[in-house]
């Protein structure tokens, strides 16, 4: 859906909510869910799709009729793809994901080649001169980075990917932006770290020299081209967990000359007071599948825990005081769960700002946790849940 707002952003939901790793599984889920959702939220206008592709599915596009099948489906149902979630490389449902979701990371050839394939697929799917975005891992899991050599390796592969994106733009006229997604306990987890990495490393002179050579562009144009193709995906849940203000984050990135190519609309779990009842309720969110990074604010001093059980253990030891924010994507349309709450207020403030000025060209609802959330906070029908979230977002935007 294209919204009648400043900058006319596109709005969709991320199909990573639907289980599936092979292209056959993913395509079956798209055909099952998308037509009915579109009928309810965008019956009279084209609806955008936030596609999720695994590495296995991306590989299948080169050896089957997958691309032609998808293009025909999109055409017949008045749908279009403008963004792809290429964050999870492998399985994302019904198995332990945790820190493995960041692997392979941007130090590796596998991550580079996977993302290049996704960019090629997106370029084939983008309508007309529409720009596309790809959200990806924020470099790597922080504990995996052991010194400057690892950072250098990430910079090198990202430069090579930027050169690939430039070639797509030059040769096919299709513009795609890679959007690194800051996340708690990752190499890039705060906006300060994002700005430091982009402006201090990716867009520094040695990187520009390498990019100019690889992309065959004049050195004086290298920075502008790189900034066009490398940016940030701002996940509102992640920002809220870090006790950062998402609207201010967008402004700071813009001031630093870093593109906000995509905003993922999401809410985190908020625990105003950590007591015995709150701990009891929090156990129901520890699903054993996803990593639930937790940040505690004790009088302005932030303490980070890699997973919710770590924070709970610290609390039992007399630590982890103050308000908690937990990386668990909870429904956008609900702010209060009694003892537990959500960070919906930060999301509402961001959506209010979107009504005034363009914050990002792509807005994507990303509540992928419906199948693991406690039963009392989900409706039971995934289509109803998705429609309710999209409808709530549009109402907040006045669209």
Encode pLDDT of 210-224 as tens digits. Answer: 999 999 999 999 999
Contact 189/242 with Cβ under 8 angstroms? Answer: yes
pLDDT in tens, 352-376: 999 999 999 999 999 877 777 877 7
Q: Is 372 helix (H, G, I), strand (E, B) or coil?
A: coil
Q: b or e along 206-219 (b: 16 or more beta carbons within 10 Å of the residue's beta carbon)?
A: ebbebbbebbebee
Contact 139/105 with Cβ under 8 angstroms? Answer: yes
Contact 82/133 with Cβ under 8 angstroms? Answer: yes
330: its two tokens: 């909870």
How far is residue 389's CA from residue 376's CA, in Å, rounded to a whole number? 17
Q: Is 87 helix (H, G, I), strand (E, B) or coil?
A: coil
Is the model's pLDDT at 310 over the cut of 60? yes
Band (92; pLDDT cuts 50, 70, 90): low
Q: b or e along 54-84 (b: 16 or more beta carbons within 10 Å of the residue's beta carbon)?
A: bbbbbbbbeeeebbeebeebbeebebbbbbb
For residue 314, is it within any domain? no
Is the model's pLDDT at 99 over the cut of 70? yes
- Lowest average pLDDT, out of 81-95, 114-128, 364-378, goes to 364-378
Reading phi first (left if > 0) and then psi (alpha if -120 to 50, else beta), residue 173 is in: left
pLDDT for 93: 58
**What 8-state DSSP symbol labels residue 380?**
S
Q: What is the mean pLDDT of the chain?
A: 94
How far is residue 35's CA from residue 222's CA, in Å, rounded to a whole number? 42
How far is residue 104's CA from residue 134's CA, in Å, rounded to a whole number? 16
Is the model's pLDDT at 321 over the cut of 90? no
Longest dimension (CA), the chain: 62
Band (346; pLDDT cuts 50, 70, 90): very high
Sheet of 301-305, strand order: 301-305, 294-298, 323-330, 267-271, 340-342, 336-337
- DSSP for 336-379? EETTEEE-HHHHHHHHHHHTTS---SEEEE----TTTS-GGGS-
Interval 242-247 mean pLDDT: 98
For residue 25, is it within any domain? yes
Domain of 258?
Answer: 10-267+342-397
pLDDT for 359: 97
For residue 141, is it within any domain? yes
**What 8-state DSSP symbol labels residue 362?**
E
Q: Given CA atoms 317, 268, 191, 351 in this order, what sign does their dihedral have?
A: negative
Q: Where in 236-272 does DSSP place strands (E)?
A: 259-265, 267-271
Interval 191-209 mean pLDDT: 98
How many residues comprise the chain?
399
pLDDT in tens, 145-176: 999 999 999 999 999 999 999 999 999 999 99
pLDDT for 307: 97
Is the model's pLDDT at 259 over the cut of 70? yes
Nearest-Å Rg of the Cα atoms of the chain is 20
How far is residue 172's CA from residue 131's CA, in Å, rounded to a whole number? 12
Domains: count for the chain: 1
For residue 367, is it within any domain? yes
Closest CA to 328 of 240, 234, 260: 240
Is the model's pLDDT at 255 over the cut of 90? yes
pLDDT in tens, 281-309: 999 888 888 899 999 998 889 999 999 99
For residue 274, is it within any domain? no
Instruction: Between 90 and 25, name the one with better pLDDT.
Output: 25
Interval 13-38 mean pLDDT: 94
For residue 173, is it within any domain? yes
Contact 168/174 with Cβ under 8 angstroms? Answer: yes
Closest CA to 257 of 283, 227, 302, 212: 227
Is the model's pLDDT at 97 over the cut of 80? no
Reading phi first (left if > 0) and then psi (alpha if -120 to 50, else beta), residue 90 is in: beta
CATH number (domain holding residue 47): 3.20.20.150
pLDDT in tens, 270-282: 999 999 999 999 9
Dihedral pair phi/psi, residue 216, rounded to 5°: 60, 50
For residue 283, is it within any domain? no
Interval 375-379 mean pLDDT: 71
The helix (run of H) or strand (run of E) holding residue 280 is: helix 276-282
Dihedral pair phi/psi, residue 53, rounded to 5°: -125, 130
For residue 324, is it within any domain? no
pLDDT in tens, 64-77: 799 999 999 999 99
pTM value? 0.96
How far is residue 25's CA from residue 152's CA, in Å, rounded to a whole number? 37
């Amino acid at each position: 859906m294209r919204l009648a707002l400043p900058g006319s952003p596109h709005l969709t939901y991320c199909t990573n909510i639907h289980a599936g790793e092979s292209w056959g599984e993913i395509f079956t889920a798209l055909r099952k869910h998308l037509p009915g959702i579109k009928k309810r939220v965008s019956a009279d206008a084209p609806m955008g799709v936030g596609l999720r592709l695994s590495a296995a599915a991306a590989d299948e596009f080169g050896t089957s009729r997958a691309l032609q099948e998808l293009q025909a489906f999109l055409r017949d149902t008045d749908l279009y793809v403008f963004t792809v979630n290429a964050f999870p490389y492998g399985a994302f449902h019904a198995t332990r994901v945790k820190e493995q979701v960041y692997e392979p990371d941007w130090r590796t050839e596998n991550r580079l080649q996977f993302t290049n394939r996704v960019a090629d697929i997106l370029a084939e799917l983008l309508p007309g001169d529409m720009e596309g975005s790809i959200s990806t891992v924020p470099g790597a899991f922080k504990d995996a980075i052991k010194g400057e050599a690892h950072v250098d390796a990430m910079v090198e592969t990202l430069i090579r990917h930027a050169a690939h994106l430039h070639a797509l733009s030059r040769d096919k006229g299709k513009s795609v932006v890679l959007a690194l997604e800051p996340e708690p306990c990752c190499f890039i987890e705060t906006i300060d770290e994002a700005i430091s990495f982009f402006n201090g490393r990716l867009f520094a002179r040695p990187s520009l020299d390498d990019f100019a050579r690889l992309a065959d562009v004049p050195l004086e144009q290298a920075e502008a081209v790189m900034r066009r193709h490398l940016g940030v995906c701002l996940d509102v849940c992640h920002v809220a967990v870090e006790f950062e203000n998402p609207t201010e984050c967008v402004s700071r990135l813009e001031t630093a000359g870093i593109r906000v190519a995509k905003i993922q609309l999401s809410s985190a779990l908020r625990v105003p007071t950590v007591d015995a009842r709150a701990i009891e309720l929090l156990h129901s969110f520890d699903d054993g599948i996803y990593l639930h990074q937790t940040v505690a604010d004790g009088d302005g001093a932030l303490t980070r825990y890699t997973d919710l059980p770590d924070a709970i253990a610290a609390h039992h030891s007399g630590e982890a005081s103050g308000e908690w924010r937990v990386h668990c994507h909870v429904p956008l349309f609900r702010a209060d769960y009694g003892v537990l709450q959500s960070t919906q207020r930060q999301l509402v403030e961001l959506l209010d700002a979107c009504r005034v000025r363009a914050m990002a060209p792509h807005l994507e609802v990303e509540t992928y946790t419906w199948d693991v959330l406690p039963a009392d906070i989900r409706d039971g029908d995934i289509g109803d849940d998705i429609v309710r979230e999209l409808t709530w977002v549009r109402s907040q935007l006045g669209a």
